[in-house]
Structure 1
Amino acid sequence: MAGRLLPNLTNPLDRPAAVVPFPVARRGGRPAKLPEADLRAAVEEGLKDPEIAERFGCSRQYVYLQRKRHGLLRPKGPRRSKSRFAPKVATDRAVTMPPVDHPALAEDRTLYPATVTGVDGLLNVLVAGANHWKIGGEIRKGRWAGFPVYALTLEERATCPASCRHWRSCFGNHMHFAKRIRHGEALEDRLAHEVAILQSRHPRGFAVRLHVLGDFYSERYVALWASLIACFPALHVFGFTARIDGRRDPVARALVQLTLAHWDRFALRFSNAPVDECSTVTVEHPRQVPADAVLCPQQTGKTESCSTCALCWQSRRRIAFLQH
């Protein structure tokens, strides 16, 4: 990783981006016949439908129908993560993008302005992770095991840098009903109050996911989280930011410094940054995952949620995410 460490975001090397070949799609047609004996052996081996489909060159739907036909349905056991919702995967979800001339893109706002709300009248802005299918309510592995998880959702684009690679393809485009908290001083005052309460409620530790939507919008806001990390030892943060230009963006520079100083409690990843540690890379297909990155296990169904994975804060290794 020489030359591509996190401090380089404040003085990055100028190098061309690697060109990744786009996968060649298979031709359609009638699915290959899947013998019952082979299917039964694969199910007993513990393979999931996508893995069986890849092994025998057929679709996941065909595998499911054949399992149903032969009575090879898997029992539905209890979910491991404390979430109100069943887990989902990104491999079967389409990316949603508004037209290029959509007003939200020019006005730096969400597609759903009616979902943006101030802190007045809200019981809390840090919402239990159990309310989000991908996050989960309690961390089940790693050095943060046992910590309850809370999440903060801001308004996408309004708090994000226009340089974000997903300015148009933001996954917030899917989230029609998410409650987005309006950013500003009122939010910052409320956060300080709520973190103090959570410190007394969970003195052993708790985690905050920043941000389900939105980003760090000012130096003052970054300084708030730095002070909260310093004042409340139970607070642990994980999340992502599109602010990666540490040479020209003072917010990015402050985030790099905070992450380097407190990675054990402030595990922030820099999205699509030209470094090999504490970063992410977005791909359109699993075949595009770089050799030095690991594909998000939750997106491919290998684990239920962030709470049952822990990769984002356990390792500094670059993580690849399917565009979703």
Structure 2
Amino acid sequence: MQSQKSFAKNQASGTLYLVPTPIGNLGDMTYRAVEILKEVDVIASEDTRNTQKLLNHFEIETKQISFHEYNTHERVPELVERLKKGETIAQVSDAGMPSISDPGHDLVVACIEQDITVVPLPGANAALTALIASGLVPQPFYFFGFLNRKPVDQKRQLEKLANKEETLIFYEAPHRLKKTLTNMAGILGTDRSAVLCRELTKKFEEFLRGTLAELLEWASNNEIRGEFVVIVEGNSHAVVAGEELPEIPVEDQITNLISAGEKPTVAIKKVAKLRGLKKQDVYATYHHLNNDNSKNS
């Protein structure tokens, strides 16, 4: 067991502050966050160029050090050593809460192992900001973040989530949104209620509420811009604990995609790719065709 008293005096080492930054609107920066960033010895930033704009706006002159997914192994030991020597460090991501979609978690774990104080600051968070305005059940919720970019791996992830009763929260980039919605409609079902939350806290903030089929149709007919939080309602017909969750039949998955606006040939091709099957086999299953072997048996 380990006990941390965050603000105890005469601590042997420095303190790591986890400082959230605005997700779009600079007015969401807290007084405390600005104060901490001014007082610490160094700021560990996911993107120093991006963070510098924030520092300039609030007249913060603290030096930065880069800390991102590509230099984690090098930086974590370095930052821990600096903390052990008594320095104070603030870790920030490009936007929102640090340690969620950046390597901050690795640094937090390393600090805890070395009994270094870790102090989190509250602040802007895209997932919760989107959730409370979505209109979907706010609790319980399941935060997933970014789905895998590879179609097959994304399909497996969604199949594991298909039976969850909690409201699901995802992050997605604009150029991947349509493909992700296609997979969601095909696996979770076209009639699931969902909300696309775009450009949160910014001038063009927008909430698109509807079924996955309707949102996929929107994504297919509009220019997609901005970062998205995707909120999907939980499964109201979830399988009882202990029961095996059956995989959605091929025919139903194709029908879901067609209902969402895909052409039959395109839907068959996508389902075949998602399931790792031959397109002709999926075609035969959907059209209830028997192969030559079955005819001769």
TM superposition score normalised by structure 2: 0.28
Greater strand percent: which structure? 2
Greater helix percent: which structure? 2
Structure number with greater CO (CA < 8 Å, separation at least 6) is 1
TM superposition score normalised by structure 1: 0.26
The structure having more radius of gyration, on CA atoms, is: 2
